[in-house]
Amino acid sequence: MKISRIETLQLNGFPNLLWVRIYTDAGIIGCGETYYTPEATATYIHEIAAKLLLGQDPRQIEKLWWRQYEMSHISGNNGLEMRTISAIDIALWDISARASNLPVHQMLGGAVRDRIRIYNTCAGPRYATATPGEAGYSHHHTAKAGQMEDLHAFLNEPARLARDLLDHGITAMKIWPFDAAGDRTGGCLAGASDIEPGLSIVRKIRESVGDAIEILIEGHCMWTLPAAVHIAEALASYKILWLEDMLRADEPANLRRLRDATNIPITGSERLQTRWAYKKLLDAEAVDIVMTDPIWTGGVSESIKIANLASSYDLPIVFHDCTGPIGLTVALQLAAVAPNVPIQESVRAYYLGHYRELVTESVKVDSGHVAIPDGIGIGTTLREELFTRPDAIRRISSSN
User: Could you tell me the CATH number of the domain that includes residue 327?
Assistant: 3.20.20.120
Give a yes or no: residue 60 inside a domain: yes
Q: Examine the domain organization and report whether 263 and 162 are in the same domain.
A: yes
Task: Report pLDDT for 131.
Answer: 65
Amino acid letter for position 293:
D
Task: Report pLDDT for 139.
Answer: 52
Q: Examine the domain organization and report whether 153 and 209 are in the same domain.
A: yes
Give a yes or no: residue 82 inside a domain: yes
Q: Examine the domain organization and report whether 281 and 365 are in the same domain.
A: yes
Residue 75, helix vs strand vs coil:
helix
Q: Examine the domain organization and report whether 38 and 169 are in the same domain.
A: no
Query: Domain with 64 in it: what CATH number?
Result: 3.30.390.10
Task: Report pLDDT for 73.
Answer: 73
Sign of CA dihedral 330, 333, 338, 339: positive
For helices 80-99 and 299-312, angle between their N-to-C axes, nearest 10 degrees: 100
Give a yes or no: residue 133 inside a domain: yes
Q: Examine the domain organization and report whether 365 and 229 are in the same domain.
A: yes
- Determine which helix (DSSP H) or strand (DSSP E) holds 200, and give its type and residue range: helix 192-209
Q: Give the phi and the psi of residue 373 in degrees, each rounded to 5.
A: -60, 135
Give a yes or no: residue 190 inside a domain: yes
Task: Report pLDDT for 61.
Answer: 98
Ramachandran bin of 367, using left for φ above 0, alpha for ψ from -120 to 50, beta for the remaining angles? left
Q: Examine the domain organization and report whether 205 and 322 are in the same domain.
A: yes
Number of domains in the chain: 2
The DSSP symbol for 131 reads P
Give a yes or no: residue 302 inside a domain: yes
From the list 22, 5, 16, 4, the residue with the least C-alpha distance to 382 is 22
Could you tell me whether strands 266-268 and 240-244 are parallel, antiparallel, or unpaired per DSSP bridges? Answer: parallel
Neighbouring CB atoms inside 10 A of 141's CB total: 22
Q: Examine the domain organization and report whether 323 and 388 are in the same domain.
A: no
- B/e letters for 316-335, b = 16+ CB within 10 Å, e = fewer, are bbbbbbbbbbbbbbbbbbbb
Q: Examine the domain organization and report whether 243 and 343 are in the same domain.
A: yes
Cα 368 from Cα 26, distance rounded (Å): 40
Q: Examine the domain organization and report whether 273 and 299 are in the same domain.
A: yes
pLDDT digits (tens, 9 = 90+) for 265-320: 999 999 999 999 999 999 999 999 999 999 999 999 999 999 999 999 999 999 99
- Determine which helix (DSSP H) or strand (DSSP E) holds 193, and give its type and residue range: helix 192-209
Give a yes or no: residue 76 inside a domain: yes
Residues 154/122, Cβ–Cβ less than 8 Å? yes
Q: Examine the domain organization and report whether 152 and 229 are in the same domain.
A: yes
Walk along the chain (400 residues) and give the pLDDT tens digit of each residue: 999 999 999 999 999 999 999 999 999 999 999 999 999 999 999 999 999 999 999 999 999 999 999 988 765 667 899 999 999 999 999 999 999 999 999 999 999 999 999 999 999 987 867 665 554 445 555 545 446 899 999 999 999 999 999 999 999 999 999 999 999 999 998 788 999 999 999 999 999 999 999 999 999 999 999 999 999 999 999 999 999 999 999 999 999 999 999 999 999 999 999 999 999 999 999 999 999 999 999 999 999 999 999 999 999 999 999 999 999 999 999 999 999 999 999 999 999 999 999 999 999 999 999 999 999 999 999 999 999 999 999 999 998 7
Residues 141/152, Cβ–Cβ less than 8 Å? yes
Task: Report pLDDT for 133.
Answer: 55
Cα separation values, 298 from 110, 240, 290, Å:
21, 30, 15
Q: Examine the domain organization and report whether 137 and 285 are in the same domain.
A: yes
Give a yes or no: residue 186 inside a domain: yes
Domain region containing 64: 3-101+381-398
Q: Examine the domain organization and report whether 51 and 151 are in the same domain.
A: no
Give a yes or no: residue 376 inside a domain: no
